[in-house]
Amino acid sequence: MRNLIFIFLIIGTSTQTQAQLTYQNLHVDYDSAWEYKNLRIIPIRWKGPGRFDYPLNGNLISLGEAINKGYARVSERGTASTDNVHWLNVENLSRKNIFIASGEIIAGGRQDRMVSRDTIMLASQQKIQLPVMCVEEGRWSEKEKKFSYQEMANLHLRRTLDKSKNQVMIWREIYDQLDRDKIKAPSIAYTARKLDKKYLAAEQEYWKFFEEKFRKSDSSIVGVVCLSGKNVIGCDVFASTSLFYSELPYLMLGYIHEAIVMGAPINIQETKVTTYMDKLLRDEASQEEFIKEYGKAYRHNGKIIHITTYQIGER
């Protein structure tokens, strides 16, 4: 799954550098929504002709792609848990700029971690110390295992991270999720669900369906809004098509997790979705107000690179 290759039609490129992530430049393609069991995905497309890339001239890839292709290497900062549990070393072995998003899960080392802050590691930076949170209570190994990239966390855990930045709250959310489905493992780890063969089979079914839909689509997509049950469960929008597709496999696993574990068959009123998206994309002022309460935006050199929003009224 991690090595899937996407083939997309590229019609052209845009050289705009000041594009707003609002209706001025984006189109929510309700007519192209895809639905499988508990998850409906609506693509958000760039309005301009062809493919759109502006951040760092399109030379910006996801952390997942960087780790899986050997462009980046992750290691522990040290051996003492008290001083090093909330930090990891990241080495850039390439000439790529790497976007690192809060909520990304990195497993292994002495303890599984989750990135706690969005950042861009520039190609000129050889090494950075990355702030992280523990997502595996009860383990700090003597021996450091090789780190591997897993996925983006589900929306409940991402929201807990972004809104609280509190380790105890993160552990509590993970415990509640595992307890809800009676998942047992040697340590209380977010990734413990991967030990459940039924869950893995369901995850693969969801991903196979949506991967095929994205494969057959054009390359103008820069984001998605995702629905389950009676709710918009979340939305992610990126400042370039190339970054979106680099993030896509890992981002989708987080949404799939949310749909399988906490979702329900789709039963949402269309007006509820359009109202949500209007608040997010109408203009910059309403977007800033909406994000302040229900999401976050990451800016680099004053330009928005990534917007994430969550379910309205969620705990």
For the chain, give every domain's residue range.
13-59+153-310
Report the pLDDT averaged over residues 6-17: 38
How far the first Cα of the chain sits from its last, in Å, is 32
Q: In this structure, what DSSP letter does residue 95 have?
A: S
Q: What is the mean pLDDT of the chain?
A: 90
Report the pLDDT averaged over residues 53-62: 85
Closest CA to 314 of 256, 237, 233, 236: 233
Q: In which band, very low, low, confident or very high, does the pLDDT at 54 lie, cut at 50, 70 and 90?
A: confident
pTM: 0.90
Which sign, positive or negative, has the C-alpha torsion 303, 307, 312, 313? negative
pLDDT at 1 over 70: no
- C-alpha span between 24 and 27 (Å, rounded): 8
Question: pLDDT: is 74 or 80 the higher one?
Answer: 74
247-276 pLDDT, tens digit per residue, is 999 999 999 999 999 999 999 999 999 999
Q: ∠ at Cα 136 (106, 156), nearest 5°? A: 80
**Cβ distance 275 to 313 under 8 Å?**
no
